[in-house]
């Protein structure tokens, strides 16, 4: 399934955040008073958050990858199907169309549909992977052989951005109308960030996955 892990950050990110925010108050620039973080967020003073970098590794499939890379304020390095052989695919549980919102899906409680969708994904991806392997064996270039792969094929992204960009990403993707799998990725990123920027997380009203 999909996975998220932190690739890099800086030491004491909130200490640097406060230092940057007090650029015009050099007398108190090293103050450890974290109440300023809530003030910055409440008054939408986001520029200090631009100074704090975080990079994540996201393992997912091509379909979910397309949702993530739409966030232009982040920067990406993406597994290239042009240069590397694709191995494996992701299988997800069926979710049902929300009759009210075209963007939303609902939990599927029908075991027959769940089983059908699981098997359908495996059959389609197994055939695609087989034909893909045959194409490579015939000498067809990877950048053309990939046309045989499904949107469920395996991929990996390195995503880099400022704390401000990740806050925006989570605001959009940890939302009930976002793709369910993208929500799960967002929650994984949020859980990691909560450990590194706890005062920021508190000011934003974030809760851990277990608290929701």
pLDDT tens column, 110-136: 999 999 999 999 999 999 999 999 999
44: left (phi over 0), alpha (psi -120 to 50) or beta: left
My answer on whether 75 and 165 are in the same domain is yes
Q: Is residue 56 part of a domain?
A: yes
Q: Does residue 30 lie in a domain region?
A: yes
Does residue 89 lie within any of the structural domains?
no
Residue 86 resides in a domain: no
Structural domain boundaries, residue 197: 3-80+153-211
Residue 85 belongs to a domain: no
Q: How many CB atoms lie within 10 A of CB 149?
A: 20
Say whether both 71 and 7 belong to one domain.
yes
69 and 167 part of one domain = yes
Question: Are both 136 and 160 inside the same structural domain?
Answer: no
Structure tokens that stand for 144 in this block = 């053309």
Which position among 62, 146, 173, 187 bears the catalytic label? Answer: 173
Is the same domain home to 73 and 160?
yes
Does residue 19 surpass a pLDDT of 70?
yes
Counted domains in the chain = 2
pLDDT digits (tens, 9 = 90+) for 143-164: 999 999 999 999 999 999 999 9
Q: Is residue 8 part of a domain?
A: yes
Residue 18 has pLDDT above 70, yes or no: yes
Q: Which residue has the tokens 């990996």?
A: 156
146 in active site: no
Domain boundary pick from 116, 133, 148: 148
Is the residue at 105 inside a domain?
yes
pTM over 0.85: yes
Q: Given this model, what pLDDT does residue 44 score?
A: 95
Task: Give residue 212's pLDDT band: very low, low, confident or very high (50, 70, 90).
Answer: very low
Q: Do residues 130 and 75 share a domain?
A: no
Query: Is the pLDDT assigned to residue 209 strictly greater than 70?
Result: no
Q: Is the model more confident about 28 or about 212?
A: 28
DSSP state at residue 89: B
- The reply to whether 173 and 70 lie within a common domain is yes
User: What value does the mean pLDDT take over residues 50-63?
Assistant: 97
Residues 100 and 201 in one domain: no
pLDDT in tens, 72-114: 999 999 999 999 999 999 999 999 998 988 888 999 999 999 9
């Amino acid at each position: 399934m999909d996975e998220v892990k932190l690739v890099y950050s800086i030491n004491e990110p909130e200490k640097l955040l406060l230092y940057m925010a007090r650029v015009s108050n050099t007398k108190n620039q090293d103050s450890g008073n974290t109440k300023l973080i809530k003030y910055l967020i409440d008054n939408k003073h986001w520029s200090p958050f631009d100074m704090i970098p975080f990079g994540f590794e996201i393992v997912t499939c091509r379909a979910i990858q397309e949702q993530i890379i739409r966030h232009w304020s982040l920067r990406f390095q993406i597994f290239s199907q042009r240069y590397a052989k694709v191995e494996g695919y992701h299988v997800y549980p069926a979710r049902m169309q929300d009759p009210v919102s075209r963007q939303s899906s609902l939990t599927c409680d029908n075991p027959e549909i769940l089983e059908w969708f699981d098997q359908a994904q495996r059959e389609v991806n197994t055939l695609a992977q087989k034909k893909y392997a045959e194409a490579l064996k015939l000498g067809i270039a990877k950048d053309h052989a990939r046309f045989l792969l499904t949107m469920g094929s395996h991929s990996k992204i390195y995503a880099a951005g400022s704390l401000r960009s990740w806050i925006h990403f989570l605001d959009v993707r940890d939302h009930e109308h976002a793709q369910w799998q993208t929500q799960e990725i967002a929650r994984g990123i949020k859980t990691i960030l909560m450990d590194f920027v706890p005062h920021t997380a508190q000011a934003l009203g974030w809760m851990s996955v277990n608290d929701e």
